[in-house]
Amino acid sequence: MTRQEEKLYEGLSPFEIKNKLIAMASSGSEKKMLNAGRGNPNWVALEPRYAFFELGHFAVAESERHLIRPGIGSVPESDGIVERFEDFLVKRAREPGISLLNTSLAMVRDEMGMDPAIFLLEMIDGILGDHYPVPDRMLRCSEQIVSSYLAQEMCGGKRSTDEFDLFATEGGTAAMTYVFNTLIENKLLHKGDKIALGAPIFSPYLEIPLLNDFEFVELEVMQEPDSGWQYSPQQIEKLADPAIKAFFVVNPSNPTSVAMHPETLQALHELIATRRSDLIVLTDDVYGTFVNGFQSLASIVPRNTILVYSYSKYFGATGWRLGVIGLAKDNILDAAIAALPRQEQDNLRERYHTVFLDPNAAKLIDRMVADSRTVALHHTAGLSTPQQVFMVLLSLACLADREGVYKERAQDIVIERFHALYAALGVPSPETPFDAHYYTTIDVPHLATERYGEDFAKWLLENHEPIDFVWRLAEEKSIVLMDGGGFDAPKMSVRVSLANLPDQEYTAIGKGIGDLLKEYHERWDATS
Q: What confidence score (pLDDT) does residue 22 get?
A: 79
Task: Tell me what percent of the residues of the chain surpass a pLDDT of 90.
Answer: 86
Query: In sequence order, what are the residues at sequence separation of 6 or more whose Cβ sits closer than 8 angstroms to the Cβ of residue 149?
Result: 394, 395, 396, 398, 399
Q: Is a pLDDT exceeding 70 seen at residue 28?
A: no
Burial class (CB in 10 A: 0-12, 13-18, 19+), 94: exposed
Q: How many structural domains does the chain have? A: 3
249, 198 Cβ separation under 8 angstroms: yes
| Same domain, residue pair 21 and 52 | no
| Same domain, residue pair 243 and 314 | yes
Question: Within 10 Å of residue 6's Cβ, how many Cβ atoms?
Answer: 16
| Same domain, residue pair 348 and 470 | no
Q: Is a pLDDT exceeding 70 seen at residue 10?
A: no
Rg (CA), the chain: 25
CATH number of the domain at 381, please: 3.40.640.10
Q: Is a pLDDT exceeding 80 seen at residue 67?
A: yes
Query: In sequence order, what are the residues at sequence separation of 6 or more whose Cβ sits closer than 8 angstroms to the Cβ of residue 305?
Result: 281, 282, 283, 296, 297, 298, 328
178, 325 Cβ separation under 8 angstroms: yes
Question: How many Å apart are CA 128 and CA 88, to the nearest integer?
Answer: 17
| Same domain, residue pair 435 and 346 | no
Model confidence pLDDT, tens digit, residues 438-484: 999 999 999 999 999 999 999 999 999 989 999 999 999 999 999 99
CATH number of the domain at 87, please: 1.10.20.110
| Same domain, residue pair 115 and 227 | no
| Same domain, residue pair 222 and 367 | yes
Question: How many Å apart are CA 263 and CA 265, to the nearest integer?
Answer: 5
Question: How many Å apart are CA 136 and CA 113, to the nearest integer?
Answer: 23
- Please compute, for residue 238, the number of CA atoms within 13 A of its CA located in the half-sphere on the CB side: 19
Show the domain range for 321. Answer: 140-399
| Same domain, residue pair 160 and 265 | yes
Q: What confidence score (pLDDT) does residue 215 get?
A: 86
Q: What confidence score (pLDDT) does residue 14 get?
A: 72
**CA dihedral over 162, 165, 167, 172, signed as positive or negative:** negative
255, 495 Cβ separation under 8 angstroms: yes
Q: Is a pLDDT exceeding 80 seen at residue 51?
A: yes
| Same domain, residue pair 150 and 70 | no
449, 457 Cβ separation under 8 angstroms: yes
- Is 222 a domain residue? yes
169, 383 Cβ separation under 8 angstroms: yes
DSSP H/E element including 160: none
DSSP H/E element including 157: none
| Same domain, residue pair 465 and 381 | no
CATH number of the domain at 461, please: 3.90.1150.10
User: What three-state secondary structure class fits 146?
Assistant: helix
- Is 35 a domain residue? no
